[in-house]
Amino acid sequence: MGEPNSLEILFNPKSIAIVGASRNPSTPNYNLLANLVKLQFPGKLYPVNPNVQEIDGMKVYPSLRNIEGEIDMVVSSVPAPATLDVIKDCVEKRVKVLVIVSGGFSEVGRDGRKAQEEIALLLKQAGIRAIGPNCLSPINTSNNLVIGFDPHEKLNRGSTSFILQSGFYEPRLEWIFWDLNLGVSKLIDLGNKIDINEVDALEYLGSDSNTRVIAIHLESIAGDSRRFFDLLKETSKEKPIVVLKSGRTQAGVAAVSSHTGAIVKGSPIVFDTALAQAGVVRAYTLEEFFDFAKIFEFLTPLKLTGNRIAIACLSGGEGAIVTDMCQERGFSLAKVSSETNVKLQEVGPPWKIPPNPFDIGVSGQFHPMEVYRAFFEAMTEDANVDCIAVQLPTFRNVSLPDNILRVFLEPIFKARSKKPIAVWLMEENQRYRTPIQFLEASRIPVYPTADRAIKALSALYRYTSMRTE
Amino acid sequence: MGEPNSLEILFNPKSIAIVGASRNPSTPNYNLLANLVKLQFPGKLYPVNPNVQEIDGMKVYPSLRNIEGEIDMVVSSVPAPATLDVIKDCVEKRVKVLVIVSGGFSEVGRDGRKAQEEIALLLKQAGIRAIGPNCLSPINTSNNLVIGFDPHEKLNRGSTSFILQSGFYEPRLEWIFWDLNLGVSKLIDLGNKIDINEVDALEYLGSDSNTRVIAIHLESIAGDSRRFFDLLKETSKEKPIVVLKSGRTQAGVAAVSSHTGAIVKGSPIVFDTALAQAGVVRAYTLEEFFDFAKIFEFLTPLKLTGNRIAIACLSGGEGAIVTDMCQERGFSLAKVSSETNVKLQEVGPPWKIPPNPFDIGVSGQFHPMEVYRAFFEAMTEDANVDCIAVQLPTFRNVSLPDNILRVFLEPIFKARSKKPIAVWLMEENQRYRTPIQFLEASRIPVYPTADRAIKALSALYRYTSMRTE
């Protein structure tokens, strides 16, 4: 089965050959090479294309065989029928790991499946490990390794790693890095799983010291499913794992099968049970997938051992809406201490107001500058409160000077290391970049809506409670 | 119970007096008057404030009694203890309808409740209809009537009317108008419901010819609940009604009670059953509330009589994710005709690809310009397809010339009158304003995520199927 450290080479190759490299900046294949050059990937790069002599000043090789040095990794992005010859060259050159980007294999029917099996056999005989076909990866932010079709200028380094079975992430990569503000360590898109599968990937990331959170998009299990679930169980003790499983419904299974040519084994119910027993957090939409990864990335190692939540809204109406939401997602509204009650009453109106949900809008009319401070100070010190969710003021005037912003946001910064906090916005369009950047630079996750903030906190709570059961 | 046409006056007053008008532009009370001036509300305006002679060149009256002309509507925004004197002046001046903006009444406990009851009695004796206290409204876009604390420059006229029990909408109003792109007819925030309640409001909007869609946020029923559910049933035959009910959980009921001082009658289960029988569409989050209103506003009178959906995504992985989502929300993937299959195969790759979910990303590599056209032409003509959901391309280069945009978007325009279509974006941050504006100007609703697009279509389907059961 090849060398034991093949994924180590996949994420840290000393040299990469790009077969199918293009000199036309408007084609996807151009960026396969250009991203590595622009991002100053530290290894050696060999563009390969028989029809081109030079790309942006770099020498282009007519074939892999013409390269003199050793090649750790080959990225093959040529039409499916031309792929077999590339594989033969890889065997000849004793390449260590191969990424088959091209589609047109097992996902297109019988002929494609046959071609894929032929390639698989050749690779196995030669001991070359491979991902794909029909995949777009890997990414390793720590050495600026990005195999992608879109241009990428800068990577957001973090400790979340992804195991995917689709390139859906790539047009979202800038959004993941700079809007979601999610720092990534590694990403692997397994495609049709000709060789390296979810078991290999999870095994590697489970013991990867740069990976603290793992997010898995799964269409089918190609490896040993028992081993996979055991690994999930073992790994999730130390690292939160979010799983988005496609093919939960009959129509979904059919769609999965035409996407990667996989046969989905086992019924969805068996799958659900196994995943629940493995201690992973399930996501059912792409929003949940990314939102949950974000709360773990931002808040780990903070634990959420209880379900008593304190909330603050800018209106009483929204307070009641969010209260229902919290209750329906497994939280209970914290019954705060009398000290908290006194502290909040001091910044509130002359009449008695309830402390939870706290109407920060009403209180803000009386002590606009003190109300956030009082709320966060009281709630973080209150032993009856496990976590906090709060709506951000609208900051209509985004050019507010920093010191005004700080009056609102400083108390949140101070509270952040004590208890899990999630923030949501009045409007979903993230118009308020300045305060969001302030908060997220201090690892306080901001979500577009209350529903998504509460769901993310509840993912954190589920994760902690599965650990302590 | 006052004059039968009190809501007619509330939405179309010939004259308005603003008690508590302020000349300080940074205070909320300033905008109560300034919005009406700026928006050129066509009626007479009387600012009232004993401490001010003039606001922006307008004469200010020391009290309502000093106004010589008739006053249709009084908006009172003074501290709670000063409100009783305003009411007495209203009685004296034979005001027709009153809006009590101020809070500090039944929601603050026994004393507040007593004060509210005293006011209620006075108003009843004098035959003056009133909304509030603790409310912020009305809005009527057809005559530029907006009672609000935030500055509003321009209104988006449409046919959705809101009945609310919270001011949560106001900081979102610009977002509702220009990001959600929702055209509004009327809006009433009932507050503590001292007099005019949900029954009056629904009765009025049910027969209002400018209102085609009604969205109701409800904390409690203050009127005759039997009459209310009968009205819902009757009205929803002609006009889609979306209901967001707060106080679904025990904690939610408590939050509702401290918000407007209401006692929530009846158990949540009784409520759920009654709403289901009334043929309304339920929303459980603010996103659903606005998203569902939007699909009705955009697509009515298009009906969605079947649940067979056709979807197109930019990646096969997302196709499978959305397929599960559709199935779980009550849709079934349409089994398309052989004609459709042929048409899609023509723009697809050389191998056979499944028509639904259609991978527009793969096909776009072969015929980038024809693929959207072929998809929409085929699906709108296919008798096996009831509705269409499609992912918009990313348009990385937002400055794309109009004619390129049109190549992508024109086929959607052509299909729009034949079948319900919803579009979702690759990223939720609505970076692509130009194509969104193109689409929404033609009444094609665009949602930030697939989940929200599919849920909105499913609301449309539920509404139609409740009508035909």
pLDDT score for A148: 95
- How does strand A241-245 pair with strand A281-283? parallel
Judge: B427–A179 Cβ closer than 8 Å, yes or no.
yes
Burial of B265 by CB count in 10 Å (0-12 exposed, 13-18 middle, 19+ buried)?
A: exposed
Mean per-residue pLDDT for B389-410?
71
Cβ distance A321 to B394 less than 8 Å, yes or no, reads: no
The confidence score (pLDDT) of residue B176 equals 95
CA distance A394 to A314: 9
- CB nearest to B429's CB, from A316, A352, A430: A430
Which whole number is the average pLDDT over B235-251?
93
C-beta neighbour count of A65 within 10 angstroms: 11
Give the closest-approach CA distance of A69 to chain B in angstroms: 34
Q: How far is B70 from chain A (nearest CA, A)?
A: 33
Task: Report the residue from B168, B316, B333 with minimal CB separation from A318.
Answer: B168
Q: Is residue B410 classed exposed, middle or buried when 0-12, 13-18 and 19+ CB atoms within 10 A define those classes?
A: middle
Other CB atoms within a 10 A radius of the CB of residue A142 amount to 12
Q: What is the rounded distance in angstroms from the CA atom of residue B77 to the CA atom of residue B94?
A: 19
CA nearest A59: which of A48, A51, A69, A70? A48
Q: How far apart are CA B14 and CA A307, in angstroms?
A: 53
Neighbour-count burial for A12-29, b at 16+ CB within 10 Å, e otherwise: bbebbbbbbbbbeeeebb
Residue located via tokens 């009670």: B257
A428 to chain B, closest Cα gap in Å? 8
The residue of chain A nearest to residue B164, with distances taken between CA atoms, is: A317
pLDDT at B2 over 50: no
Inter-chain CB proximity A246 and B324 less than 8 Å: yes
CA distance A55 to chain B (A): 23
**Chain A contact probe: residue of B116, B246, B458 with most A CBs at under 10 A:** B246
pLDDT mean across residues, chain B:
91
The answer to whether the Cβ–Cβ distance between B321 and A286 falls below 8 Å is: yes
Who among A219, A319, A351 is closest to B109 (CB)? A351
Q: Residue B229's pLDDT is what?
A: 96
For residue B255, the chain A residue with the least C-alpha distance is: A320
Q: Which residue reads 């059919």 in tokens?
A: A254
Count of A-B CB contacts under 8 Å: 218
A9 neighbors A97 (Cβ within 8 angstroms): yes
Least confident of A290-294, A333-337, B323-327, B395-399: B395-399
List the strands of the sheet with A139-140, edge to edge. Answer: A145-146, A139-140, A184-189, A157-164, A213-218, A241-245, A281-283
CA dist B469 and B465 (Å) reads: 6
Chain-chain contact of A256 with B320 (C-beta, under 8 angstroms): yes
Map tokens 């049709």 to a residue. Answer: A192
Chain A nearest-CA residue for B323: A252
CA–CA distances in Å: residue B129 to residues B67, B193, B263: 20, 11, 22
**A260, A316, A333 member nearest B251 (Cβ):** A333
Length of chain A in residues, anyone? 469
Q: Report yes or no: A223 and A250 within 8 Å, Cβ to Cβ.
A: no
A448 contacts on B by Cβ (under 8 Å): 428
Q: Which pLDDT does position B398 carry in this prediction?
A: 46
User: A327, B168: Cβ pair inside 8 Å?
Assistant: no
Inter-chain CB proximity B428 and A426 less than 8 Å: no
**What single string gives the DSSP state of each residue in B395-439?**
-SSTT--HHHHHHHHHHHHHHTTTS-EEEE-SSTT---HHHHHHH
The distance of A396 to chain B (nearest Cα, Å) reads: 9
User: Please, are residues B346 and A264 in contact by the beta-carbon 8 Å criterion?
Assistant: no
Cα distances (angstroms) measured from residue A173 to each of A157, A177, B298, B395, B427: 12, 6, 31, 15, 10
Pick the residue from chain B with its C-alpha nearest to A255: B320
Instruction: Give the tokens for residue B8.
Output: 């007619």
Find the residue in A nearest to B179 (Cα): A429
Contact A398, A433 (CB under 8 A): yes
Count other C-beta atoms under 10 Å from residue A118's C-beta: 13
Q: How does residue B396 score in pLDDT terms, banded at 50, 70 and 90? A: low
Q: What pLDDT does B455 receive?
A: 98
Angle at A171 between CA B286 and CA A442, to 5 degrees: 60
Residue of chain B nearest A321, judged by CA positions: B246
Gap from B327 CA to chain A (nearest CA, Å): 7
How far, in Å, CA of B436 to CA of B398, rounded? 11
How far is the CA of A243 from the CAs of A118, A158, A283, A290, B315, in angstroms? 32, 19, 6, 10, 19
Query: Predicted confidence band at B1 (pLDDT cuts at 50, 70, 90)?
Result: very low
For residues A189 and A215, the answer to whether their CB atoms sit within 8 Å is no
Is A108's CB within 8 Å of B351's CB?
yes
Query: A427 and B251 in contact by Cβ < 8 A?
Result: no
Residue in chain B closest to A172 (alpha carbons) equals B427
Please report the DSSP string for B29-88 in residue order. Answer: HHHHHHHHHHTT-SSEEEEE-TT-SEETTEE-BSSGGG--S--SEEEE-S-HHHHHHHHH
Residue A418: Cβ within 10 Å count:
14
Across the interface, of B112, B259, B426, the residue whose CB is closest to A317 is B259
- Cβ distance A249 to B328 less than 8 Å, yes or no, reads yes
What is the per-residue pLDDT for B469? 59
Tokens representing residue A265 in the block: 């084994």
Closest partner residue to A429 (CB to CB) among B167, B175, B256 is B175
Q: Do B318 and A248 touch (CB under 8 A)?
A: no
Neighbours of B329 (CB within 10 A): 17
The type of residue at A35 is N
> Which amino acid appears at position A388 of this protein?
I
CB atoms within 10 A of CB A247: 24
Distance CA B299, CA B421 (A): 8
- The partner residue sitting opposite B112, judged by closest CB among A247, A316, A351, is A351
| Confidence (pLDDT) at A455 | 98
Q: What is the dihedral of CA A32, A33, A39, A45, to 10 degrees?
A: 130
What tokens does A70 get? 């050793």
Which residue in B402, B398, B452, B399 sits closest to B424, CA to CA? B452
Is the CB of A323 less than 8 angstroms away from the CB of B249? yes
pLDDT of residue A411: 82
- At B76-123, the pLDDT tens digits run 999 999 999 999 999 999 999 999 999 888 888 888 999 999 999 999
Chain B residues within 8 A of A427 when measuring between CB atoms: 171-172, 175, 179
Which chain A residues are within 8 Å of B333, Cβ to Cβ? Answer: 251, 254-255
Phi-psi region of A106 (alpha: psi -120 to 50; beta: other; left: phi over 0): alpha
How far from the centroid of its chain's Cα atoms is residue A382's Cα?
33
Give the pLDDT of residue A402.
Answer: 65
Give the tokens for residue A111: 């002929």
By CB atoms closer than 10 A (0-12, 13-18, 19+), residue A263 is exposed
Contact list in B for residue A458 (CB cut-off 8 A) is none
Q: What is the pLDDT of residue A19?
A: 98
Of B164, B248, B259, the CB nearest to A319: B259
**Across the interface, do A166 and B317 touch by the CB < 8 Å criterion?**
yes
Q: Report ipTM for this prediction.
A: 0.93
Alpha carbon of B368: minimum distance to chain A alpha carbons (Å): 13
Chain B residues inside the 8 Å CB shell of A359: 259
Q: How far is A332 from chain B (nearest CA, A)?
A: 8
CB contact under 8 A, A324 and B252: yes
> Of B7-21, B153-167, B242-256, B273-287, which gets the smallest average pLDDT?
B242-256
Looking at beta carbons, which residues of chain B come within 8 Å of A449?
285-287
Contact list, A175 vs chain B (CB under 8 Å): 426-429
Q: Which residues of A touch B323 (CB under 8 A)?
A: 246, 249, 251-252, 254-255
Phi, psi of B311, deg, nearest 5? -125, 150
Instruction: Chunk chain A into consecutive blocks of 10 residues (it has 469) and report each block's average pLDDT, rounded to whole numbers.
Output: 71 98 93 97 98 96 97 96 96 97 87 94 96 94 96 96 93 92 97 95 97 96 94 96 93 82 72 91 97 96 90 93 96 97 91 90 79 92 96 66 69 86 84 81 93 97 85
CB-CB: which of A150, A254, A324 is closest to B248? A324
Lowest mean pLDDT among A74-78, B177-181, B378-382, B438-442: B438-442
Window from A202-206, A207-211, B203-207, B405-409 with minimum mean pLDDT: B405-409
How far CA A421 is from CA of B38, B189, B286, in Å, comes to: 41, 31, 21
**H or E element that contains B265:** none
**How far, in Å, CA of A283 to CA of A290, rounded?**
9
pLDDT at A6: 80
Mean pLDDT (whole number) for B390-397: 75
Please report residues of A whose CB lies closer than 8 A to that of B271. Answer: none
Interface test with B, best of A248, A259, A395, A454 (most B CBs within 10 A): A259
Q: Concatenated DSSP letters for A228-246? A: HHHHHHHHTTTS-EEEEES
For residue A360, the chain B residues in CB contact (below 8 A) are none
- Percentage, residues of chain B above pLDDT 70: 94
The CA dihedral of B417, B423, B429, B434, to the nearest 10 degrees, is -40
